[in-house]
Structure formats: C-alpha cells, structure tokens
Amino acid sequence: MNRRPFVAGNWKMHNDLVAARALMAGLRAELGGALNVDVAVCTPFTLLYPMGREIDGTSIKLGAQNCHFESKGAFTGEVSPPMLVAAGCDYVIVGHSERRHVFGESGDMLRKKVVAAQAVGLHVIYCIGEQLDDREAGNTERVVESQLQEALSADLNTDLLTLAYEPVWAIGTGKTASPDQAQSVHAFVRAKLGGVFGQETAQRLRIQYGGSVKPGNAKALFECPDVDGGLVGGACLVADDFVAIISAAQDSV
C-alpha cells in the first residue's frame, strides 16, 4: 500500500521569534510549490501563533510538542488541546522520549493526552522507542509493544494518528539506527497495530522514523518499506537540511 510520507520538524526548546521567522522564510522559499509529502513544524508554545501566520498559504502545517489532557483548569504552566487548536495547530506530539524520561509522563497520562487531543480534531504523532540498555539487552520489541499498549486502543480515530519510532539512544546523539534496524522495528510495530486496528488499517497508518535523521541518511531510511517519513530534531532547525530531508521523502514516493 502506498502511504503518503510525512516529515515533521520538532524544534524542541529552540528559536526566538527572530530566528524562527528567518527559518520559516527559508522553508517558504524552498517549499512554495505543491508537495507530494505532508510537512509539519512543531514549535515551542510561544511561537505557535506567529509561526502559523508565517506558514499561511503554504503546504506546511503547524504542530505543538505536547499538551495537557484537560481542556481547562488550574494547571499552571500547561496548555490544553483546545488552546492548540485556537493557535492554529493541526498536529501535536505525544509521548516523546523526553516527556517520558525527563518529565516522567506515565502511560496512563499519555493515553489521556491522545484521547483529549483527538477529541478536538488534533492529529496525534505518538512516539515510541527504546533506551540503549533496552536495545543492548534485546528488549526493543518488548518495550515498544508496551508503549503501544499503554496508549492505543481500537476506539481511537486512526485518521488522526501517526506513529513515530524514535530509538532513544539515537536522539541527539549523532547515532542513527541502520535502515535494517529501523525497518525491523517498523515492521514489528505495524504488525502490532494490525492486532489493535485490523490489518487493513495498520497498512494505512504511517510510522515515522526519528533519531538523528539527517540529509545524509534520510534517503536510505525513507526507502525502507515500512518507514513513512521522519520526525526530525536538530536537522529541522537548518532550512537547507530540513528541505533536503523533505526532498528525500518526496523521492521515496
């Protein structure tokens, strides 16, 4: 089944307004025409509204990096899914490894976030991935399956769902899973999705690869049959690099 590639840039905690506008100007200049891939930029909360205005009229969509699971309330420092919609978001990342391992977000919390985000029409990019000790102990599949089970169920809207496999040991380290390693895990994830949503839906769902995706390795990764684009970290902060990765995704179609 042909799946339309999806490349999302996760800016993490980078860029002030001046730098963000310069980056978006570079992307607009290179991505002004029609694309055969989906592209999103996931900015810090403070940049969502101004970056939404910067990409207006382009094929680029806006995403957030996190959300709370309640629509409103006394939750100091949090941002709700309806607030993200009001800021112009189409996407939200849920379950990134930094949220799990640095901020201690639990599976139960992530499940609530997925449901709350989809309830207001946000497309969820749900992240999974093992740490280095899990990989070295041969526990990759066990960890990934557990992360799938904690948040996904048959009642979710699969039209508003993308999976992102990000081996934690490859995020920001310069290390990258080989195409064979990535494909192996992506194929495993797709098989498990078939058990949740049915095989036809599992074949339709997109699974991004994340973990030090760069212009030099994007082509080989995106040519893997079960890799449907990337969730890009550091390289998305340089317009030429991000465009090159998007071009690699377009070439894989």
96 catalytic? Reply is: yes
Q: What angle do CA 178, 180, 186 make, to 5 degrees?
A: 105
Q: How far is Cα 1 from Cα 47, in angstroms, rounded to an integer?
A: 36
Catalytic residue among 68, 96, 123, 186: 96
Burial of 151 (0-12, 13-18, 19+ CB in 10 A): buried
Residue type, 36: N
Distance of CA 94 to the CA centre of its chain: 8
14 catalytic? Reply is: no
Which helix (H) or strand (E) element contains residue 200? helix 199-204
Please give the DSSP secondary-structure letter assigned to residue 164.
E
Closest-CA residue to 43 (of 77, 1, 89, 74): 89
Burial of 57 (0-12, 13-18, 19+ CB in 10 A): exposed
| Residue-by-residue DSSP string for 2-38 | ----EEEEE--S---HHHHHHHHHHHHHHS-S--SSE
Catalytic residues: 96, 166
